[in-house]
Structure 1
Amino acid sequence: MARISLFFWGILIMGCWAAIVEAEYMKYKDPKQPIYARIKDLMKRMTLEEKIGQMSQIDRIVASEEVMKKYFLGSVLSGGGSVPAEKASAQTWIDMINGFQKGSLSTRLGIPMIYGIDALHGNNNVYKATIFPHNVGLGASRDPELVKRIGAATALEVRATGIRYTFAPCIAVCRDPRWGRCYESYSEDHRIVQAMTEIIPGLQGEIPANSQKGVPFVDGKFELISNYSPIWLLVMRDGLGRPVRKTLVLLKNGESADKPLLPLPKKAKKILVAGSHADNLGYQCGGWTTTWQGLSGNNHTIGTTILSAIKNTVDPTTEVVYRENPDPNFVKSGEFSYAIVLVGEPAYSETFGDSLNLTILEPGPATITNVCGSVKCAVVLITGRPVVIQPYLSTIDALVAAWLPGTEGQGVADVLFGDYGFTGKLSRTWFKTVDQLPMNVGDKYYDPLFPFGFGLTTKPTKAT
């Protein structure tokens, strides 16, 4: 009888042990198993509540470790300007995300959450991030390999904050500049937009040839960087000048090719810099910078304004005078060798940027008239799209479309003063009047101020 009892208990214990082992083994957590087998195993284990939670994404302002655990949430995002703290460090971002992840991993199935962010032109929500030119300018570069490198640089900075998911790129083909998201589009031509999708392998890494189609791919080559080191930032910003330079489009350069104004001489007795966008890093970067709509001013991120870049570039003996909106008498009496006027649009994004008139921000038109009517001038437009410029064109000696160049204004000065030549070509048709819109290359009635693909060139020179 004792032997039977012992045998019975042995069988029972072995059965329980086998059940425990079986319960502990979860196929969906086994990386050696095929991906679809893991998905199937996980799906059959999930309750309805868990499935609903996994399909839900919330903003970080309502997320917490407890919320993630209670509702089985699959994703958290930072909407435009949704940050853990003002001017938060990379480590602060990492600590916040790790807290949310701790809640997700403590659920019954331990499914990690995915954190997403709008890294549209660099990791633009994050303080001290490198802000690259917006897509409208990158389209003017016609350089897919450059855009790919920008994607890789953006991936590094996004990963540095503990994030592996960006809501980018925008591959819309904007056919009407009155749309507030037009600067997120590389071009009105789908072929340029298609070419610029090279940013995707830049962001996520090259997809192996044997990779399964339809399965999300994330390359593991980017190591997580715990903080933005000063040396790393310096290297990134040194490399930012090239993309800025390649986005600039020269639309006018003197009355004839024989008498160009650009490149400007670095050595002059006195020069005037004017306009609302000369010393405004917020306008220079545009929307989706620090906040959803972007900001005006110089204390929201770090970088080089175009005014500062001009001062850094000219000869030390050249006097640089800055007035945001000088009156004609001041300009006439100033004995300036030449003037640089920087005007454009305010920062905006999405529907807040929808515009029926596409005019330059006041007092921009008056600044152009006051300055260019009295001295030789180069006008630099800081805009996310073509704007109304025809009424002032006759008074302007040189006209440059700089789009939204980002934090490195030095790239603009590099080309204005001839350290590098102009090479950019319009990726959008520049209209004469808004009554012509929408108007795109290939249209039957095509009568632009500057046609798609237009862009004058200059050669680098040692300007004196």
Structure 2
Amino acid sequence: MRRIFIIASVACLNVLLLAAQPQKSQPAASAIDKKVDALIAKMTLEEKVGQMTEVTSDVVSTTTNDVHQIDAAKIKEAILKYHVGSILNVSGHAYDRKHWFEVISAIQQEAAQDRLKIPVIYGIDAIHGVTYTTGSTLFPQEIAMAATFNKEIAYKAGEITAYETRASYIPWNYSPVLDLGKSPLWPRIYETFGEDPYLIKTMGASIIKGYQGNDVGDKYHVAACMKHYLGYGDPLSGKDRTPAWIPDRYMREYFLPPFAEAVKAGARTLMINSGEINGVPLHASKYMLTDVLRGELHFDGIAVTDWRDIEYLHDRHHIAATQKDAVMIAVNAGVDMSMVPYEYSFYNYLIELVHEGKVSMARINEAVHRILKVKYELGLFERPVGNPDDYPKFGSDEFKQVSVQAATEAITLLKNNNNILPLKKGMKVFVTGPTANTMRALDGGWSYTWQGDQSDKFAANKNTILEAIQQKTGKDNVSYEPGAAFDSLQNINDAVKAAKKADVIVLCLGELSYTENVGNIDDLNLPWAQTQLAMELAKTGKPVILVLAEGRPRIVTQAESLSAATVMTYLSGNEGGDALASILFGDANPSGKLPFTYPKYANSLNNYYRKNLENGNPDDKHGYNPLYEFGFGLSYTTFGYSNLHLSKPDLKENETLTVTVDVKNTGQVEGKESVLLYTSQSYASISPDYKRLRAYDKVSLKPGETKTVTFKIIAKDLAFVNDVSKTVTEAGEFKIQVGDQTQNFNYISNTVPSRTGKL
């Protein structure tokens, strides 16, 4: 039985059949490396394994009548008995800075009582601002940030989030999510930067640089944690933490690049995908965690598990016959730290495994070295808590304005028949729908609580969509009836009566907050009650402005067909209501573009880059036919593209192709335009993508103004992963597309033959 299990385990761990690339020679030890080595030399096995152990704050806390505090006996057990190296924040709700100071101080004071006085690293999900600290600046969720196509905003949001996280005395942020938001059903798509690998990797790298700055150890920056490595965002069922089937070629082409870019950007930590790919749980994959992550990407930071995922190798995935075997498999695969999270079995099992020779001391030392190095880099040995007086900008109006800008640039105008928008102030506006008067529909999950279900309480001083419209055009000009809850009608007759008295209807549909498995759904269609509300309101003959406040693209085709204008707000954060009102009434000009392909039908889910292959037969009407395409978004002005110019007709290896295009504001209103550059290859050794985003920039133009936008393209930008999982740029004909402008050029390779027969 034991022999069979071992054979099965080996088979599982080698499903992805590619040899690892040779590792680079190790660089000379830095001053921090030498400090770490000296400390490790003093440590017992028990102290080392304790550093690899992460427990939830619940393990060391008590909460009575909503009063939370560190429990003296529990923290003593965690630190002095088990030498726990990390604690993560999970349950409860947001606290003020004073409470966070007390919590972190109590933890670090106990750590200072341990023999070697190694500080604890506290981690938290500050994924769109410091979501667990009251009074903080909450930004749009990542999917909305992606819609800005503005890397500078991502950087600023990261920088402010880092500042306010350190102001909460916490040095480790479990962000950004770099998963490919490929499956619209998946409940965490709103935590991603969308469906395009290039958009994800560039926005992700920008926010990481904002989080970590030039010195991750200063008092204003935090360690980023890129997650969830790898392939988490494309479960076959669309449900959270369920199996994915992803060939190695696809993994490398679409899923791996954002993580490779994040490593280059300096991300110090990484969280592992909870699911399995092709039958192999990522927490058990030496190929992915060691051969690829360490050998190919050269990541040298901490690899931490997600929630209970070592336990699940036994309980859920059934590749480990016992919990002890699960620990052995995961640690040997490359896991450095286990998010246990409730007890100390990992600690006990790992010590036994080392004594039994089933996990080497070298593997333990390697993991502990990475953990301690990050702690030194963060300055925790010198400054384990921080000074409350060092953060005068926390929750400031300066920070708020960045969130306002982000929300404004994210909101995407999808339809504007007869230029009904912007609305005139003083019009009689009827506001309705389940997302109209709740902050949950603006903030989403991970907002004050895990599920974001208390946002109306904690963000009571912020404006819902209804309140923002009332403030913008005057309460006397605005009427309101809910019309429907999320999945049931509510006072619909009253809603219809009120609508008949208005000049225009603002119908707010979509979703309330959720995350992870709680957000799993069986039907991507918008709940029928919301569609019914749209149908009844349309019968009044009054123009309907459809506002979609949602974390994923729900199927809204029938309701959307009845609107005069459609506006996508995504989950635009605490300032999203005000940003939307400014756009609806023309005080701001929309400039967002979709970071995903918006499907028309629940069973027709496509990504833009495989458009050509989705149609099969040219006469097939059931192929690629989305409601709105990736990169689509309207403005209150118009933009014209001209003079697309390539610096040379042929691009050779080790050369750069300079691409310029003129963009002109041809309308009457100042506006911003995201300029997207795509490339496509005519023929290749595998079916080439229809087109791929390779560069983008955002420009602001006054009426009549023209700007020349410049991009640089090199051979690597044209590369793809071939049928033997090698990244190549094949010679042949390519097309550049920017707006409605196209130009062809040839790539000439000295090593890879052409598939066109022309070169």
TM score, norm. by length of structure 2: 0.52
Asked if residue 235 in structure 1 is aligned to residue 398 in structure 2, the reply is yes
The share of aligned pairs that are identical, in percent, is 30
**Which residue matches 1:156?**
163
Distance 1:69 1:61 in 2: 17
Q: 1:18 matched to which residue of 2?
A: none
Residue among 581, 588, 595 paired with 1:427: 595
Q: Does 1:195 align with 2:202?
A: yes
Deviations 1:82-124 (A, max 9, x none): 45xxx52111011111101111111111111101100011111
**Equivalent residue of 2:193, what SS?**
coil
Question: Match of 1:300?
Answer: 458
Equivalent residue, structure 2, for 1:127: 134
Q: Which residue of 2 aligns with 1:410?
A: 578
Superposition map of 1:181-192 within 5 A: 181-192=188-199
Corresponding position of 1:393: 560
Higher mean displacement: 47-56 or 223-232 = 223-232
Native 8 Å contact 1:345 1:361 kept in 2: no
Matches for 1:55-204 after TM superposition, within 5 Å: 55-63=52-60, 64-66=74-76, 67-79=78-90, 81-83=91-93, 88-197=95-204, 198-204=206-212
Match of 1:376 in 2: 543
Alpha-carbon spacing, 1:241–1:53, altered in 2? closer, same or farther (3 Å): same
Q: Is the aligned partner of 1:352 residue 2:362?
A: no
Unmatched 5+ stretches in structure 2: 1-29, 61-73, 217-263, 269-298, 302-373, 484-490, 615-623, 638-667, 671-759
Contact 1:144–1:195 (CA under 8 A) maintained in structure 2: yes
User: Judging changes above 3 Å, is the alpha-carbon distance between structure 1 residues 362 and 406 closer, same or farther for their aligned structure 2 residues?
Assistant: farther
2:118 alignment partner, SS class: coil
1:348–1:231: structure 2 CA closer, same or farther, 3 Å change rule?
closer
Q: 1:231 to 1:126 in 2, by over 3 A?
A: closer
Whole-Å separation in 1 of the counterparts to 2:395 and 2:128: 18
Corresponding position: 1:289 with 2:454: no
Q: Under a length normalisation based on structure 1, what TM-score does the superposition of the two structures give?
A: 0.84
Report the Cα offset of residue 392 of structure 1.
Answer: 1.7
Amino acid at match of 2:566: L
**Hey, what's the Cα distance between the residues in 2 that align with 1:382 and 1:361?**
14
Structure 2 CA distance, aligned partners of 1:349 and 1:329?
33
Q: For the residues of structure 1 that align with 2:150 and 2:539, how far apart are their CA atoms?
A: 37
Structure that is richer in strand per residue: 2
What is residue 327 of structure 1 aligned with on the other side? 492
Aligned-pair CA distance for 1:245: 0.6
The structure with the largest alpha-carbon Rg is 1
The answer to whether the 8 Å contact 2:157/2:210 transfers is: yes
Contact 1:161 1:227 in 2 (8 A): no
- 1:300 deviates by 3.1
Distance 1:168 1:236 in 2: 19
CA distance in structure 1 between the partners assigned to 2:506 and 2:115 by the alignment: 63
Greater RCO (CA < 8 Å, at least 6 residues apart): 1
In structure 1, the partner of 2:628 is 450
Which sits farther off after the overlay, 287-296 or 113-122? 287-296
Alignment partner of 1:205 out of 208, 213, 219: 213
The letter for the 1-side match of 2:568 is A
With over 3 angstroms needed to count, the CA separation of the structure-2 counterparts of 1:101 and 1:218, relative to structure 1, is closer
1:278 maps to a residue whose letter is A
Q: Distance in 2 between matches of 1:146 and 1:224?
A: 28
Deviation at 1:227, TM superposition (A): 9.2
Q: Aligned to 2:603, what secondary structure does the other structure show?
A: helix
Residue type of the partner of 1:204? Q
Deviates more, 1:153-162 or 1:236-245: 236-245
CA contact (8 A) 1:283 1:296 kept: no
Change (3 A) 1:461 1:225: farther
Cα pair 1:179 1:351 within 8 Å, conserved:
no
Distance in 2, Cα, partners of 1:224 & 1:367:
53
Match of 1:341 in 2: 507
| 8 Å Cα contact 1:161-1:226 kept in structure 2 | no
Aligned residues of 1:276 and 1:324 also touching (Cα < 8 A): yes
Q: Aligned pair 1:366/2:532, yes or no?
A: yes
Gaps of 5+ in 1: 1-32
Does the CA contact (< 8 Å) of 2:432 and 2:481 recur in 1?
yes
* More moved, 438-447 vs 410-419: 438-447
Q: Cα 1:282–1:362, aligned 2, differ >3 Å: closer, same or farther?
A: farther
